């Protein structure tokens, strides 16, 4: 478990919350407990009065602003980081002021368990959808965040929340049979006009088939209206696999593990996200890890 591993590293370095650090046994720059305290202060400094994180940072002029797409995918990352830094520093979420953003993220959980971006007057900067929407990658990050806080606080309420989120991910996955292998694979579709790419409208999927460039002219949309699958599939769908696997292992959920495997089968299809990038002459792209898309997305999928 990540949290247990971090504690072991800190103790081995003499950097536990109560450790006395001197120049004789460890450099000041490696006082990770102290740096974790600074990190908690920095993370809390980017929240608004309700606890929502603001992602657009400017130094000149100094400002912090909200960003709907960043929050939908990365908002829960803050909570995971807060839990880990709380463990490292020995400062609990209440004492650090982190409980407010944690509670705000909890308020974003729908009755069905998913983490939603709410549309309405309280969040006027989010005009990405006519209704509340749930970024699929954000669900993976929310599951990771809840796992981290559960490991920190050992509160069974987090287990209940995780069970609901995972149950909904199982329900809304689109499953198909691979004609070549006979195996079942799964994916989450994308609906233009309802939030970021690969996002679930609260009222349900509007499209269940993945759109391709060939489909664009058939439904009156331009190619620009559809996601670059070489980025979106490995990152947004691949980003759900690791937290699902961790959850399944921790709570012995075989159906969650099965869903993770079905997603892997889809993400790892060549046509899904592993099309060779032929720009480098004299090089066989697929033998050198050169694929169309986003390097971060591909490495995340492989993680």
Q: List, for residues 112-124, the tens digit of each pLDDT value.
A: 999 999 999 999 9
Q: Kindly state the average pLDDT of the residues 270-282.
A: 68
pLDDT interval class at 276 (50, 70, 90): low
Residues with Cβ within 8 Å of residue 245, at least 6 apart in sequence: 256, 257, 260
Residue 132 has pLDDT above 70, yes or no: yes
HSE-up of residue 123 (Cα within 13 Å, Cβ side):
26
Write down the domain spans for the chain: 2-16+32-302
What are 201's strand-pairing partners?
Answer: 133
Looking at every residue in the chain, the average pLDDT score rounds to 83
Say if CB 133 and CB 202 are below 8 A apart: yes
pLDDT, position 233: 79
Burial (CB < 10 A; 0-12, 13-18, 19+), residue 43, is buried
pLDDT in tens, 2-11: 444 444 444 4
pLDDT, position 60: 87
Query: What's 2-16+32-302's CATH class?
Result: mainly alpha
> What is the pTM for the complete model shown?
0.82
pLDDT interval class at 26 (50, 70, 90): low
Q: Kindly state the average pLDDT of the residues 248-256.
A: 97
pLDDT, position 279: 64
Helix axes 99-107, 136-153, angle to 10 degrees: 130
Residue whose pair of structure tokens reads 């032929």 in the numeric block:
278
pLDDT in tens, 175-209: 999 988 999 999 998 887 899 889 999 999 998 88
Helix axes 254-267, 241-251, angle to 10 degrees: 160
Q: Give phi and psi for 135, each to the nearest 5.
A: -70, 130
């Amino acid at each position: 478990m990540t949290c247990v591993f971090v504690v072991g590293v800190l103790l081995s370095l003499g950097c536990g919350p109560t450790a006395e650090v001197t120049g004789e046994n460890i450099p000041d720059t490696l006082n990770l407990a102290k740096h974790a305290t600074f990190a908690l202060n920095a993370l809390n400094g980017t929240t608004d009065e309700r606890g929502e994180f603001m992602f657009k940072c400017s130094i000149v002029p100094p400002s912090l602003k909200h960003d709907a797409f960043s929050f939908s995918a990365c908002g829960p990352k803050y909570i995971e980081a807060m839990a880990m830094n709380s463990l490292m520093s020995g400062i609990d979420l209440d004492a650090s002021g982190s409980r407010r953003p944690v509670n705000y993220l909890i308020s974003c959980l729908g009755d069905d368990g998913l983490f939603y971006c709410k549309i309405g007057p309280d969040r006027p900067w989010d005009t990405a959808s006519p209704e509340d929407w749930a970024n699929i990658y954000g669900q993976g990050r929310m599951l990771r965040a809840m796992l981290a806080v559960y490991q920190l606080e050992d509160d069974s309420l987090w287990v209940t929340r995780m069970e609901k989120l995972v149950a909904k991910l199982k329900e809304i996955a689109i499953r198909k049979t691979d004609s070549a292998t006979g195996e079942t694979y799964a994916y989450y579709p994308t609906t233009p006009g309802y939030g970021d790419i690969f996002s679930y409208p609260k009222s349900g999927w509007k499209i269940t088939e993945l759109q391709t460039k060939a489909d664009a002219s058939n439904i009156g949309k331009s190619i620009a209206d559809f996601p670059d699958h070489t980025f979106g599939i490995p990152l947004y769908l691949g980003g759900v696999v690791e937290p699902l696997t961790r959850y399944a292992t921790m709570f012995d959920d075989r159906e969650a593990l099965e869903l993770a495997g079905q997603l892997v089968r889809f993400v790892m299809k060549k046509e899904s996200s592993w099309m060779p990038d032929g720009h480098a002459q004299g090089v066989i792209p697929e033998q050198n890890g050169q694929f169309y898309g986003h390097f971060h997305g591909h490495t995340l999928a492989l993680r």
